Structure 1
Amino acid sequence: MARMTDAENLVRDALVWDNHTCLPLRPDDHDFFARLRAIAAAGVDVISVNIGFGPVSLAQHEAMIAGLTRWLAREGDWCRLVRSVADIEAARGAGKLAVFFDAEGMAPLDAGGEALVEPWRKAGVGWMLVAYNAANCAGSGCTDEVDGGLTDHGKRILAEMRRVGMIACCSHTGHRTAMAVMEHAGAPVIFSHSNAAGVFAHCRNIPDDLIRACAETGGVVGINGLAGFLGEGPASVSRLVDHIEHVAGLVGTDHVGLGLDYVFDKQELVDYLASKPELFPDAASMTHATSMIGPGQVGAIATELLARGADVPSVRKILGENWMRVARAVWR
């Protein structure tokens, strides 16, 4: 049986990368920003922080970029904004948490907004997904009854993302749209924070054909720690590892990682779910909406993987090496 000390040693030595976390969308809320320090103390080396999603305005996205950038500069003794693999390596060598940004949906890039892709990439946005649950200018979301597929505008945005080195993501995105993204991307495509529908059926979880298509691009599926996407009842590390094992069983350990989707302000989550039934149609039935596995539990995840027989090289890939491989392939 794997001992916690084995996992602790592994987490300490491995590259640990959580590909999605949600700070409150309040650009100057430094109390919550400071909680990233606890994530670094838990052994996380790289974390992607959300700057906006779905219906959040362009102005709000850019205010979050500006606010986080200012804060990270002030906290430079223990963390660093990263825009490249070299930046990550430098941050890790200095013992600092590497932080970059992600955008959940292309809605702010309507009407010629592909011109924003390059400035966002230079600002530290490492990946962007297509549609946050509902259709936008680029494609359809996973809750839409009819998936209209990837639009011409979406194709233009993807082409610009490929040019500047921003990773395309299909979490929250409709099935037909996601398949089209993977056909057009010309680079590894990720599901930054999506679980396996083969383990638990939910519109936010992805079926086996999308998992296989993602792997064929060289991409990675990041497993999400929210209870509502793991299964019935509260979140548990065991259920999370069930999803990791399902993806690994289909496409191998090269194509699964962590995208825990940890929400720092639980009350903000509850309030938002209640206020946007069109985006979250099953919110009323999510009795464990605030139960989630966070990046502070990476040691427990490693322990569970080892206890189930995963070898150390595979666990290292899952903890972070797979995300680094995609970044090397796409980021400029």
Structure 2
Amino acid sequence: MLVWDNHACMPLRPQDVSFMEQLQWHYTHGTDVVMLNVGFGDDSVEAHLRMLATFRAWLTARPGQYRLIRSVADIHAARAAGQLAVGFDIEGANAIGDQLSLIELYRDLGVCWMLLAYNQNNRAGGGCQDDDLGLTAFGRAMLEEMARVGMIGCCSHTGYRTAREAIDASPTPLIFSHSNPRALFEHPRNIPDDLIRACAARGGVIGINGIGLFLGGNDASPANVARHILYVADLVGIDHVGIGLDFIHDRHDIDVFLTANPDKFPPHLGYGAGMSMMSPAELPALAAELQARGMAAAELAAVLGGNWLRVAEQVWRN
């Protein structure tokens, strides 16, 4: 069955590819598709483009192992050739500044989905850790342009009001690429049941992340990830839950960054060094856990990749 991890993080240091060989962890442990983050939050347009250039150059120099994703056909071709299919994602509208035409450029470069906001307010709308005033006119125009060029919109890290308004306003289904249910653990980064229902009602998918802080108890075990997956499946159906582990390959880098930026990652919300996270190497254990809890093979195939593929087939322009 197709296995698709919708969010992974390499160090965002242009021309530093020292961790890139770790992408093979995903493939070695059975993953077929990975979405690799190229920027977040306050990162500039230049920073996003420099990371895209860095990652694309490294990947295209290794055609036997990797295939860049531009369309659904690339995913099928990569599986047939024994390659890991790699696409890109962006966390927040700061990546486009005030220039909507950058969305098509990013899509041409392989960006498959993009957030509206990352924790804090921006030109498009509100962040989940800020005073969310709702989706702006620019945010609505952004959703229209994303739909036009075939890029999936994402509401992870986005504030409640903005996410709710975006789900209603978007011409295409939106996703929560890496967000967990707030009913199981109270945290601003997690999402309440009514947002999960609204996303599913429009055909979207909620990707469960493997970050212990958002799973509860700093427990990133496959069993705890499975608990969140099954909660969403029971709430809105098996067709609306997937995987977006948010695994960070440079653990030292994230520990330093979180400690150095308490304004963006407040310690009182649990941020800090030592956050546990589920590794892509544990995906087989997650699959076994879900099967042990009664998930049938067809349901497992939907969760591990089929649901992301369905949204891609609907939104991407092939």
Structures share a fold, TM > 0.5?
yes
Question: For the Cα contact (< 8 Å) 1:227–1:288, is it kept in 2?
Answer: no
Paired residue type of 1:84: S
| Structure 1 residue matching 2:100: 3-state secondary structure | helix
Count of matched residue pairs: 317
CA distance in 2, matches of 1:206, 1:306: 25
Q: With structure 1 as the length reference, what TM-score do the two structures score?
A: 0.93
Q: Does 1:69 align with 2:56?
A: yes
| Equivalent position to 1:104, from 91, 114, 132 | 91
**What corresponds to 1:294 in structure 2?**
279
C-alpha offsets along residues 230-256 of structure 1, whole Å, 9 cap, x if unaligned? Answer: 101332111111100110010011000
Partner amino acid, structure 2, of 1:128 = M
Matched ranges for 1:295-314 at <5 A: 295-314=280-299
RMSD: 1.2
Counterpart contact for 1:131–1:173, Cα < 8 Å: yes
5+ long unaligned stretches in structure 1: 1-13
Tell me if structure 2 keeps the 8 A contact 1:226–1:289: no
Counterpart for residue 52 of structure 1: 39
Deviation at 1:288, TM superposition (A): 6.8
**Which residue pairs with 2:204 in the alignment?**
219
CA contact (8 A) 1:228 1:288 kept: no
Aligned match for 2:135, one of 138, 150, 155: 150
> Matched residues in 1 for 2:237 and 2:267: separation?
32
Query: Deviation of residue 109 (structure 1)?
Result: 1.8
Q: 2-side partners of 1:255 and 1:124: how far apart?
A: 24
CA distance in 1, matches of 2:303, 2:177: 13
Mapping of 1:130-141 within 5 angstroms? 130-141=116-127
Aligned counterparts, 1:128-207, within 5 A = 128-144=114-130, 146-207=131-192
Q: TM-score, normalising length from structure 2? A: 0.97
1:157-216 deviation line (CA, Å, top 9, x unaligned): 111100000000000000000011101111111000000101111110000000000101
Q: CA deviation at 1:147?
A: 1.0
**Letter in structure 2 aligned against 1:297:** E
Is the Cα contact below 8 Å between 1:51 and 1:64 reproduced in 2? yes
- The partner residue of 1:244 within 218, 229, 233 is 229
Paired-residue identity, %: 50
Query: Which of 30, 36, 42 is the aligned partner of 2:23?
Result: 36
- Could you tell me which residue of structure 1 aligns to residue 75 of structure 2? 88
Task: Assess if the C-alpha contact under 8 Å between 1:233 and 1:288 holds in 2.
Answer: no
Task: Say whether residues 1:263 and 2:236 are aligned partners.
Answer: no
- Structure 1 residue 95, shift from structure 2 partner: 0.9
Secondary structure of the structure 1 residue equivalent to 2:113: strand
Matching residue of 1:122: 108
* Alignment check: 8 A CA contact 1:274 1:283 kept: no
Q: CA deviation at 1:267?
A: 1.1
SS of 1:199's partner is coil
Name the SS for the 1:328 alignment partner: helix
**Which stretches in structure 2 are left out of the alignment for 5+ residues?**
none
Give, as a single letter, the amino acid of the residue that structure 1 aligns with 2:256: D
Which deviates more, 289-298 or 168-177? 289-298
